[in-house]
Every structure is written in structure tokens, then in C-alpha cells.
Amino acid sequence: MSDKNEKRLAMLEAMIAKGSDDPFVHYARAMALRGLERREDALKAFADVEARFPSYVPTYLMAGQVATELEREDDARAWFERGLEKARAAGDGHAEGELEVALAEL
């Protein structure tokens, strides 16, 4: 599993180095870091996604979950709250519901 995630991470980083502006590629890189249990790196990667693609809603739930795993409740709450704003602005009811549940469970 780890080898597969390492290869995925290398592929995604190569795509980003070549200038990919696809938010999913950047998000997938953060997810690959999470899959490798590199949580601090993953959280930084999610912050990069937010900075470049602030309307990419999936970022917020995953970043909040990683912050929770790192026992950084205040950071998790901030991610979930920002995500709720973005989900509502995008009319993404599914993401809004997931973020509300995550926030309630903190």
C-alpha cells in the first residue's frame, strides 16, 4: 500500500511541477500525503490547495479531518467552518451536510 501511495505522490508532484492548474491534482497530492500518514505535510498541502483554489470544497472536510487526527481541534473547527461557507456559496448541500456533521462531532 505504501509503495502504491509513494508512486501516486511522485506522479502528482511531477504533474504539479509541470504546472498543473487542476485543483483535483493538488487535492489528490494532499490525500496521498495523508495516505502515507504524513499528516503535517498533508495539512500544509491542503492549505496550499485552499490558497490556490479556495472554492474547491472537498479540501475543507479532509483538511479538518487531518487537523482532528493531529489533535488540533481549533484548526479543525476553522477548516470545517470555512468549508461550510464555501459549500453554501457553491450550493453543495451534500458537502454542507458532511461539514455540519464533522463540526458537531468535534
Number of domains the chain is built from: 1
Please count the CA atoms within 13 angstroms of the CA of 67 that sit on its side-chain side.
22
Supply 35's cell numbers: 495516505
92 and 57 in contact (C-beta within 8 Å)?
yes
What is the pLDDT, as a whole number, of residue 5?
84
**Residues 15-73: tens digit of each pLDDT:** 999 999 999 999 999 999 999 999 999 999 999 999 999 999 999 999 999 999 999 99
Note the pTM of the prediction, 2 decimals: 0.93
What is the pLDDT, as a whole number, of residue 30?
97
Using CA atoms, how far residue 78 sits from 9, 16, 87, in Å, is: 27, 27, 14
Query: How confident is residue 3, by pLDDT bands cut at 50, 70 and 90?
Result: confident
What is the pLDDT, as a whole number, of residue 59?
98
How far apart are alpha carbons 12 and 7 in whole angstroms?
9
Using CA atoms, how far residue 75 sits from 8, 20, 29, 39, 65, in Å, is: 27, 28, 20, 13, 10
Mean pLDDT of 92-105: 97
What is the pLDDT, as a whole number, of residue 38?
96
Owning domain of residue 69: 2-104
Return the beta strands (E) in the chain as ranges: none
Supply 47's cell numbers: 492549505
CATH number at residue 87: 1.25.40.10
